[in-house]
Structure 1
Amino acid sequence: MKIWIFSDFDGTISNPDTIDLLGRIFDRPRERAEMREKVASGLLKPREWLAWEIGLVDAPLEKVLEFLGDVVVIDPAFPAFADWCRGMEIPLTILSNGLEEIIQSLLERFHLGHLRFEANHLEKGMVPWKIVFRDGSDWGHDKSAYLKEARSSGYAPLFVGDGLSDRDAALCAEILFAKGDLESFCEKEGLKHYPFTSFEDIRLVLEKIIDNA
């Protein structure tokens, strides 16, 4: 079995979710409540919510990256997992609705700057921040497209995620690991998945899958 691993970043690899963290720091509680209600009722697309939340950040990128580097950690098991994937010649790609500037900075801080990732990015030099989406999908970045492409190339796409923005990718995965809101979604929809708390859990399950293939 040829496996291609795709993983969400915020809340899955990183802790905490960097976008949620920035949203809380630069928060406007009354507006946030109104925006949440509009998203829940379908009056507002998730990408519009994300653009609003990113637009709250009115600090220079360098200062924000420095702050995030001091407070954000990654799953302690993830570096070893990435090394294991490389040793097993299993491709690993990070997919995020977050910002490539933040992800690159954090990966480099943890000596993982060589890993491939795909994300949205910021319009250069803008303060307050302005997000540039990768595509026209509801979340601004269609993660499921990568899994579909991998499947068409003969791979069994595996997805790891934790949030509602991961639902479309989860539905396209042949092997699925879920926690948090994504796990709740899988249970509600009867979607086969493996619960996990760390990437060590994922590696142990994968070893059994590969051995039995």
Structure 2
Amino acid sequence: MSKPIIFCDFDGTITNSDNIIAIMKQFAPPEWESIKDDVLGQRISIQEGVGRMFSLLPSHWKDDITEFILKNAVIRDGFSEFVAYTKQKNIPLYIVSGGIDFFVYPLLEGLIEKENIFCNGSDFSGETINILWPYSCDEHCNNECGCCKPSLLRKLAKNELFTIVIGDSITDLQAAKLANHVIARDFLLEKCKELGLSHTPFSTFFDVIHFLERMEVNV
């Protein structure tokens, strides 16, 4: 088996819950819910939906929103040990996130180098929060993903590497379809079963370490 390279989701995967949803529940007016429903129903793209939801929030709330997330977000058990394991074994680890830089970076500070984090950006110079899309879709994807995980996988994974995607939601599905193996929970786990994708379920990152250890034994 080839050497692994890992692409790991952030919201609902590294963190126990989805931070964008937590922000909207705490700060947004009620119309955010219909936008969310349109995204989940695939009536509008993830990029359009996330952009519209954050445009409901005034820019001067930045500090309050950031403080709320840093206080309430919980990192999933075993994540720091998982990061240490990948470094020890020299396994490339990239965080590919539909989250936003102003909360993703602080939550991962001291754990993951910034150059290994790919997420959406933010601009607080206007009246409301404007989301920026530095990692949009390549010519092979027209889903308007926002942070396009399959595009990043195509860019970063070399042919000789065994690609592993870790995730939980609809935003991870297109990358999961390209991976050699998926480590999944929640919605993504059900889709892996439904589509017959090679997968392993997980609850904590200790489960992920155990999978990598078994994989190493079988190499």
Match of 2:140 in 1: none
SS in 2 for 1:13: coil
The equivalent position to 2:148 in structure 1, one of 139, 142, 145, is: 142
State the alpha-carbon separation in 1 of the partners of residues 9 and 167 from structure 2. 5
Cα separation, 1, equivalents of 2:89 and 2:83: 10
2:122 maps to: 122
CA contact (8 A) 2:181 2:197 kept: no
SS of 2:77's partner is coil
Q: 1:167 aligns with which of 168, 173, 182?
A: 173
Assess, with a 3 A threshold, how the Cα gap between structure 1 residues 13 and 123 changes in structure 2: closer, same or farther: same
Quote the offset at 1:54 in angstroms: 1.6
Q: Give runs of aligned pairs for residues 1-213 of structure 1, distance below 5 A.
A: 1-29=2-30, 31-36=31-36, 38-39=38-39, 42-58=42-58, 59-108=60-109, 111-114=110-113, 116-134=116-134, 135-136=136-137, 137-213=143-219
> In 1, are the aligned partners of 2:180 and 2:198 still within 8 Å (CA)?
no
In 2: Cα distance, 1:160 partner to 1:40 partner: 20
Rounded Cα–Cα distance in structure 2 between residues aligned with 1:20 and 1:5: 25
Rounded Cα–Cα distance in structure 1 between residues aligned with 2:25 and 2:124: 23
Amino acid at match of 2:111: L
How far is 1:11 from its partner?
Answer: 0.5
Moved more, 94-103 or 60-69: 60-69
TM-score (normalised: structure 2): 0.87
Unaligned runs of 5+ in 2: 138-142
Answer whether contact 2:17 2:73 (CA < 8 A) is retained: yes
Structure 1 residue runs of 5 or longer lacking an equivalent are none
Secondary structure of the 2:117 match is strand
Superposed CA RMSD:
1.9
- Taking the aligned partners of 1:18 and 1:141, their CA distance within structure 2 comes to 16
User: What TM-score comes out, normalization by structure 1 length?
Assistant: 0.90
Q: Is the Cα contact below 8 Å between 1:22 and 1:57 reproduced in 2? A: no
